[in-house]
Structure 1
């Protein structure tokens, strides 16, 4: 497994995903490898190409 570059999720999957709290659309932050919900002010991590859509795993945005 390549540890240098995180695996990017499937673009078609990203089109289908919404914020689990607000149901608003998400944006992909390539630099941090996260899905960002500006409505909920949360960033959901992507691990091994799989979005982790649990609020308990999300990073709170400033």
Structure 2
């Protein structure tokens, strides 16, 4: 499991598809607006739409 991201950083990250806030859920950043989950790899968020999975698939 990935350690929580720094709150300061998490407040500034947005979904690249919708420009809405993200929330961390385990080793993913979730965009409720887009229904996408972006992976966090080695502590680094991968905010590429191509790397995201549909949120229903991420659970």
Q: Which residue of 1 is the match for residue 54 of structure 2?
A: 60
The equivalences for 1:1-20 within 5 A come to 5-20=1-16
CA RMSD of aligned residues (A): 1.3
The answer for unaligned runs of 5 or more in structure 1 is none
TM-score (norm 1): 0.78
Larger Rg: 1
The answer for unaligned runs of 5 or more in structure 2 is none
The structural deviation recorded for 1:37 is: 0.2
Structure number with the higher helix fraction is: 2
